[in-house]
Chain A
Amino acid sequence: MNAWENLMYGFEVALQPEALMFVFIGVLAGTVIGMLPGLGPISALALMIPVTYGMDPAIGIILMAGVYYGAIFGGSTSSILLNAPGVAGTVATSFDGYPLSKQGKAGKALAIAAYASFIGGTISVIGLMLIAPLLGRVAVTFGPAEYFALMVFGLTAVVSLSDKSLIKGLIAAVFGVMVSLVGMDLQTGTARYTFGSVNLLDGIDFLVVALGIFALGEVFVLLKKRTGASEQNPLGSLKLTRKEMRDIAPPIGRSSILGFFTGVLPGAGATIGSFLGYSMEKRIAKDGDTFGKGNIKGVAAPEAANNAASGGSFVPLLTLGVPGSGTTAILLGALLVMGVTPGPLMLEDRPDVFWGVVASMYIGNVFLLMLNLPLIPLISKILNTPRAMLLSLIIIFCMIGVYGLSFNPFDLMLVLIFGLIGFAMRMYGFPAAPLILAMILGAIMEENMRRSLQISQGDWMIFIDKPVSFSLLILAAVSLLLPLILRFIKWVKNR
């Protein structure tokens, strides 16, 4: 089957009434959760994972793709309406979105965000459709040594590109791998770090960590920061004039392509994509000096880049089975729980899931445009939910999500512990994305490392002898050293 036929097959899966219903539910739930200050796509995905248990994997992942897109759009909504971006990916949107909102043009900004997201998403789906099979063909040739090196590179890239300290990022990543090793070693049956507890023999479920760090941890942060209801500006009209449409078209096109390729790179993702898109347009635009004061191009560019990057980040996830960000790591966790292992073989083994996801991403975008936009005046009322009630409800959702899966109060205690760890990490500048990514990759990394060393009879040179793994390890080293080199150059210049 060629790419077009494959996509049509994907649409067949995604256009089933059940799938359509779940895309809609996902987009709506994602928008609502993503809109809440402090909660972004990662929290939205973590909170929605329990809903997918027992579902057909194709439908489950379609739901999650909807949640992902919805949450990104929801984040943009709170950026524009409240100047309170839920996640870093929508910070750039608030630069011009909030000034527009203060001018009474919030509706316009939201419409631009929706159109830009739609086009960005569409371009990224086309990119995914074209690139993923090619990359998948290359990835089939990967052995355990190459996979190990790829995962090391994926992790170091996420660590080095997080805006926080390199050492703290590495600590978070190492801690994440440590958490993944708790339980019985599947190769030898040896119990590791279980301290005699039967509850830990099966390891620590990733949902426990995800909900603890990203949902409960956020509750503690919201309590600490006293984040309360902000003043919401009136929405105004959602309609755009022809001139406005013409003005935003080129920035959307450029930023979509830029965003997609940024998203494909491990670690880069939506945040860097949106900032790159914004700064590129600011430099190109004739009215660049009005950026930051309510220029519509300043909303269109980061939104298109942001959504295109989100689509791009599916490329390494679906073809290599290696997520490039914390958000896609959660998606990978959800897939694994549903019994689907993304990777080069997924295209052959589960084409329904692969192409179903690609098609549902597109349908998710259509839903965002057709349903979410007109519903925005209604959905934005969610921002009026009293903070006090929101906090207690998020805690209960975490508890139900985990108890409904394991029926074990011990896991609930672990959620609480990880919630406190997540809170401490946020307070002291430790990035959380490397932790969750490392937790997901940790066990697979170890397995591939051990398999490589078993093949080579314990000779570590196997990682160097193979050109692909050697190149990936060099890239990993460069990604770690680059910030240090840049800092050194800056220091020399300053002297």
Chain B
Amino acid sequence: MKLTRKLRPNQTIAIILFLFSCFYLYVAFQIPVYALPRPIDSDLFPQILGGLMLLLSIGLFFEKDAETDVAEQEKTKEHESFWARPNTQIVVTALVIGAYILLLERAGFVLTTFVFIFGMTRYYGYKNYVTNLIVAIVVSVGFYILLTRGLGVYLPPGLLPA
């Protein structure tokens, strides 16, 4: 923990990239050789890229952090709830998108999209329930009809009748 606290953001990213490029190079050297001998095989370009990334990560480790680089500190407002903080909102958004993807084919497009728009708009702080409800219904049902009936694109009906 102490080590990570001493590292500048650029250095932390450099270490991650260094490890990534080592792994990338390892996989590059595992790429099977093509049966017919060729002057250049599938593994050469990835090996060059892995080597370049390795060198660049070392370069980044020694690069100074520009002032604008470091993620802006969030302006925490007084009495702000945990759920309204930007970092919490980002994590919740990513998790909810993950849930949306998992449920899309099971529960269906209309249902998941409606719940997503209504729920997330409310979560981001929009308080007008009626407008929110109308937009969520119009977008989810409207897109479903437009894409499936109008453009012939398949969208999963899920729990609702197709």
Q: A residues bordering B, Cβ < 8 Å?
A: 54, 164-165, 167-168, 170-171, 174-175, 177-178, 181, 185, 187-188, 190, 192-193, 216, 219-220, 223-226, 386-389, 391-393, 395-396, 399-400, 403-404, 407, 409, 412-413, 416, 419-420, 423, 427-429, 446, 449-450, 453-454, 456-458
Residues of B within 8 Å of A393, CB to CB, are 117, 135, 139
Contact yes or no, B70 A187, CB < 8 A = no
In angstroms, Cα B142 to Cα A393, docked, is: 13
Q: Is the interface of B mostly helix, strand, loop or mixed?
A: helix
In order of increasing CB-CB distance, the 6 nearest A-B pairs are A458-B39, A388-B124, A388-B126, A429-B69, A427-B71, A392-B120
Could you say which residues of chain A place their CB within 8 Å of the CB of B117? 389, 392-393, 396
Tell me the minimal C-beta distance from B162 to chain A in angstroms: 15
B131 → A minimal CB distance (Å): 8
Complex formed: what's the CA distance from A454 to B75 in Å?
A: 57
Query: What is the minimal beta-carbon distance from B121 to any residue of chain A, in angstroms?
Result: 5
Which of the residues A187, A403, A416 comes within 8 Å of B104, measured between beta carbons?
A: A403
A223-B90 contact in complex given A388-B124, A407-B154, A416-B98, C-beta closer than 8 Å: yes
Residues in B with CB closer than 8 Å to A226 are: 74-75, 86
Chain A: CB-nearest residue to B35 = A188
Residue of A nearest to B69 (CB): A429
Q: Write 12 A-B pairs (CB below 8 A) sorted by A numbering.
A: A170-B56, A171-B56, A190-B31, A193-B24, A216-B97, A226-B74, A388-B120, A396-B113, A407-B154, A429-B66, A429-B68, A429-B69
Interfacial chain A residues near B38, Cβ < 8 Å: 188, 454
- Whether, in the assembled complex, B27 has its beta carbon less than 8 Å from a beta carbon of chain A, the answer is yes
With A170-B56, A396-B116, A428-B71: A389-B101 Cβ-Cβ less than 8 Å:
no
CB atoms of B104 and A412 under 8 A apart: yes
Considering residues B38, B42, B71, B143, which has the most beta carbons from chain A within 10 angstroms of its beta carbon?
B42
Whether B153 is near chain A, meaning CB under 8 Å from some CB there, is yes
Contacts of A177 in B (CB 8 A): 49
Task: Answer whether residue B7 sits at the interface, using C-beta atoms and an 8 A cutoff.
Answer: no
Query: Is the pair B69, A428 in contact by a Cβ cutoff of 8 Å?
Result: yes
Nearest opposing residue in chain A for B125, CB measure: A388
- Using CB atoms, name the residue of chain A closest to B74: A224
Alpha-carbon separation in the docked complex, A387 to B124 (Å) = 8
Taking the closest CB of chain B, its distance from the CB of A488, in whole angstroms, is 15
CB–CB B93/A181 < 8 A: no
* Residue of B with least CB distance to A407: B154
Is there an interface contact between B100 and A399, defined as CB atoms closer than 8 Å?
yes
B 10-33 binary contact with A (CB < 8 Å = 1; else 0): 100100010000001001000110
Contacts of B124 in A (CB 8 A): 223, 387-388, 391-392
Collect the chain A residues with CB atoms within 8 Å of residue B60's CB.
167-168, 171
Whether B34 pairs with A188 at a CB distance below 8 angstroms is yes
Nearest CB of A to B127, in Å: 9
Given contacts A391-B124, A399-B97, 13 further A-B pairs with CB under 8 A are A171-B56, A177-B49, A185-B42, A188-B42, A193-B46, A223-B90, A224-B86, A226-B86, A388-B120, A388-B123, A392-B121, A396-B117, A412-B101
Using Cβ atoms and an 8 Å threshold, which residues of chain A touch B139?
Answer: 393, 396
- What mask results when residues 53 to 97 of chain B are scored 1 for a CB within 8 Å of chain A, else 0? 100110110010010111110110000000000110110011001
Hey, which chain A residues are within 8 Å of B75, CB to CB? Answer: 226
B155 near A: Cβ within 8 Å? Answer: yes
A219-B93, A429-B68, A446-B45 known; A457+B120 contact, CB < 8 A: no
B1 within 8 A of A: no
> Is B159 an interface residue, CB under 8 A from the partner?
no
Partner of A190, one of B34, B40, B70: B34
Instruction: Please measure, in the bound complex, the distance between the C-alpha atom of A413 and the C-alpha atom of B95, giving whole angstroms.
Output: 11
* Interface size band for B: 35 or more
- Which residues in B have their C-beta under 8 angstroms from that of A458? 39-40
* A234-B41 Cα distance, complex, nearest whole Å: 63
Chain A residues near B89 (CB-CB < 8 A):
223
Once the chains bind, are B154 and A392 in contact (CB under 8 Å)? Answer: no
Q: 1/0 per residue B117-141: CB within 8 Å of A? A: 1001111111010001001000100
Indicate which residue in B13, B41, B57, B155 contacts A403 across the interface (CB closer than 8 Å): B155
Contact status A167-B59, CB under 8 Å: yes
Bound-state CA distance A491–B24 (Å) is 37
Which partner residue on chain A sits nearest B119 by CB separation?
Answer: A392
Instruction: Determine the residue in chain A with the shortest Cβ distance to B135.
Output: A389
Task: Report whether B101 and A409 are in contact in the complex, using a CB–CB cutoff of 8 Å.
Answer: yes
- Picked from B9, B34, B56, B135, the residue with its CB within 8 Å of the CB of A428 is B9
A178 to B21, CA, bound (A): 10
Contact residues in A for B153 (Cβ distance below 8 Å): 404
Within the complex, the shortest CB–CB distance from A18 to chain B, in Å, comes to 15
- Is A175 a contact partner of B53 (Cβ separation < 8 A)? yes
Minimum distance in angstroms from B95 CB to a CB of chain A: 10
Report the bound CA distance from A453 to B126 in whole Å: 59
Cβ 8 A contact of B116, one of A54, A185, A387, A392:
A392
Which of B10, B27, B93 touches A395 (beta carbons < 8 Å)? B93
Report the separation of the CA atoms of residues A388 and B116 in the bound assembly, to the nearest whole angstrom: 12
Return the chain B residue nearest A417 by Cβ: B94
**B13 and A428 contact, CB distance less than 8 A:** yes
> Do B49 and A174 touch across chains, with their CB atoms under 8 A apart?
yes
- Could you tell me if A428 and B39 are in contact, using CB atoms closer than 8 angstroms? no
Tell me the complex Cα distance, A391–B44, Å: 42
A-side contacts of B74, CB under 8 Å? 224, 226
B49:A181 contact, CB within 8 angstroms? yes
* B93 touching A165, Cβ below 8 Å: no
Residues from chain B with Cβ under 8 Å of A454 in the complex: 38-40
Minimum distance in angstroms from B50 CB to a CB of chain A: 8
Instruction: Please determine whether A181 and B39 come into contact, CB atoms closer than 8 angstroms.
Output: no
A192 near B31 with CB under 8 A, answer yes
Residue of A178, A193, A219, A395 with most chain B CB atoms under a 10 A cut-off:
A178
